[in-house]
Amino acid sequence: MSNLAGLLEHSTEKYGDRTAIVFGDTRLTYAQVNGAANQVANLLVSRGVQPGDKVALSCPNLPYFTIIYFGILKAGATVVPLNVLLKGREVAYHLADSEAKAYFAFEGTPDLPIGDAAREAVVDVGGVDLIEVAAAGAAPWAEQLPTFDSVDMDDDDTAVILYTSGTTGQPKGAELRHRNVLDNALAGSDLFNSDETTPDTYLCVLPLFHSFGQVVIQNGAFAFGGTVVMLPRFEAKPALDLMLRHGVTFFGGVPTMYWGLLGALDETTDVEALAANLRVAVAGGAALPVDIHRQFKERFGVTILEGYGLSETSPVASFSRFGEEPRVGSIGVPIPDVEMKLINDDWSDVEPGPDAVGEIAIKGHNVMKGYYNRPEATAEAIQDGWFRSGDLAKKDHDGFYYIVDRSKDMIIRGGFNVYPREIEEILMGHPAVSLVAVIGVPHESHGEEIKAVVVKNKDHDDVSEDDLVAWGKEQFAAYKYPRVLEFRDELPMTGTGKILKRELS
């Protein structure tokens, strides 16, 4: 089973009548999802897509995402999932950088005009076959045959390209092999005691274009014949209602989602029934507050398991041990057949000790092939099979890791990575901005909020903070633009002219 699409095909062969996806009143069996994915593959072949071609996909958590995702894989092409919040300019960059040949885009809604961004991007890039998917009416692949022989792939062939800025500059595409993603999905057997005979029901609130939702939830469920209940946008009360209605046994989310679930509980919530169903709760994306750990265990009777990973590691690299009391604040231990260690800036190993801090390096079946068309960036990130994460950590005497800090300036807002340099470069394009530094500041529900500290050009003194926030909202995806803005006469600098961000708040 070298082609990642084998996850779907295996479960279809064994459990074709099982429910694979639930969305609203729609229930799709594995056989139905597989048949529709075959139609997508036939459509791609009819439009000239060949094995190895890149096919982009913009779609929220809808059955369409899963059907198209596996259809692309079946055709032997590479899936390039895109954040549905990206603006046309940002989409165009990703299409051009990935050399996408085709692009599936859901039409979206007035509040989330995915189709508008897609059409704008395709015009800007040129040469990309746009396949629009409407919310109503026949799907573009409806007339295709529901049978297809999936293309055989080698373990080293690229299955998915996930875009990440890493630490600086423009987003880079992390090339994940079929074997990378497949092994990460199958790791659920060891990590969560996932089993085909008693399959889990997963609530999918994490965006499927993100590695956590895509691999741990979608692919993790399909690896063991589970059911995925989809919610396009996380809202705590609807999420609780779906968990109760469908008997959800597996929940994965970022810390702010757990914060939201606990805050939505009231006297009308049947917490006892929720707790009776829930078997596994996992968290990642940011550190989980101790109080959330405690409250969730008290109300739901389930210990939240924290893990760690990156797009470049497919994504999971470490996890707390299922069935054991967690070490709160720890990201756990390396998953099976994966190694982790702490290194210095020069790649040398950190001398062991309880207070020793180093950058996490990872080696194993989960490490990406490299950054697409960026050999220099790949060489900087990977040496002798070890990938350097950019995250600083400690390790205790039992091998459990604890994140100390981000070694670079990355901001995590609501579980999404935001890279200050990208924001700064665009803000510098505004005529009123002379100098800017973008930082993360604490936020109760999002973990961090994005703040821009700006030195204005003297001839644009009439520009207000609200003006720049509104301008940024037009330039960036909703999770990226600075909502907090402060004007200063100058920014603190080092002797060599670098901005001292640690002195800003």
Assess whether pLDDT exceeds 70 at residue 408. no
* Full-model pTM: 0.87
Least confident of 29-43, 101-115, 283-297: 283-297
Question: How far is Cα 387 from Cα 31, in angstroms, rounded to an integer?
Answer: 38
Assess whether pLDDT exceeds 60 at residue 497. no
Instruction: Kindly report the average pLDDT of the chain as a whole number.
Output: 93
What per-residue confidence (pLDDT) applies to 180? 97
Q: What does the buried/exposed string (b/e) look like for 351-380 if buried means 16 or more CB atoms within 10 Å of the residue's CB?
A: eeeeeebbbbbbbbbbbbbbbbebeebbee
What per-residue confidence (pLDDT) applies to 496? 45
SS3 of 274-305: the string is: HHHHCCEEEECCCCCCHHHHHHHHHHHCCCEE
Which CATH number characterizes residue 310's domain?
2.30.38.10
Residues 386, 432 within the same domain: no
**Whats the size of the chain, residue-wise?**
505
Q: pLDDT by residue (tens digit) across 193-206?
A: 999 999 999 999 99
Cβ neighbour number for residue 501 with a 10 Å cutoff: 16
Assess whether pLDDT exceeds 60 at residue 495. no
- Strand locations in 349-415 (E): 358-364, 370-371, 382-383, 386-395, 401-406, 411-413
Assess whether pLDDT exceeds 70 at residue 50. yes
Confidence at 139, pLDDT banded by 50, 70, 90: very high
Residues 497, 372 within the same domain: no
Q: How many CA atoms lie within 13 A of 230 on its CB side?
A: 23
- Strand locations in 262-379 (E): 280-283, 304-309, 316-319, 333-334, 338-343, 358-364, 370-371
pLDDT more than 70, % of the chain: 97
Residues 443, 384 within the same domain: no
Residues 47, 174 within the same domain: yes
Residues 153, 128 within the same domain: yes
Confidence at 16, pLDDT banded by 50, 70, 90: very high
Question: How far is Cα 83 from Cα 428, in angstroms, rounded to an integer?
Answer: 24
Q: What is the mean pLDDT of residues 50-68?
A: 98
Residues 157, 123 within the same domain: yes
What per-residue confidence (pLDDT) applies to 285? 81
Q: Is 188 a domain residue?
A: yes
Confidence at 459, pLDDT banded by 50, 70, 90: confident
Residues 416, 369 within the same domain: no
Q: Which residue has the tokens 């084998």?
A: 6
Q: How far is CA 183 from the centre of its chain?
A: 17
Residues 148, 186 within the same domain: yes
Least confident of 169-173, 249-253, 398-402: 169-173
Q: pLDDT by residue (tens digit) across 344-375?
A: 999 999 998 878 989 999 999 999 999 999 99
The per-residue DSSP string of 64-124 comes to HHHHHHHHHHHTT-EEEE--TT--HHHHHHHHHHHTEEEEEEE--BTTB-HHHHHHHHHHH
Question: How far is Cα 70 from Cα 51, in angstroms, rounded to an integer?
Answer: 14
Residue range of the domain that includes 462: 411-503
Assess whether pLDDT exceeds 60 at residue 124. yes
pLDDT more than 90, % of the chain: 79
Residues 380, 315 within the same domain: yes
Q: pLDDT by residue (tens digit) across 141-196?
A: 999 999 999 999 999 999 999 998 644 568 999 999 999 999 999 999 999 999 99
Nearest CA to 484 out of 445, 440, 446 is that of 440
Pairing of strands 26-29, 19-23: antiparallel
What is the enclosing helix (H) or strand (E) of 417? strand 416-418
The CA-based diameter of the chain, rounded to the nearest angstrom, is 70
Residues 135, 33 within the same domain: yes
Which CATH number characterizes residue 145's domain?
3.40.50.12780
Q: Which letter does DSSP use for residue 499 in this model?
A: B
Say if CB 436 and CB 424 are below 8 A apart: yes
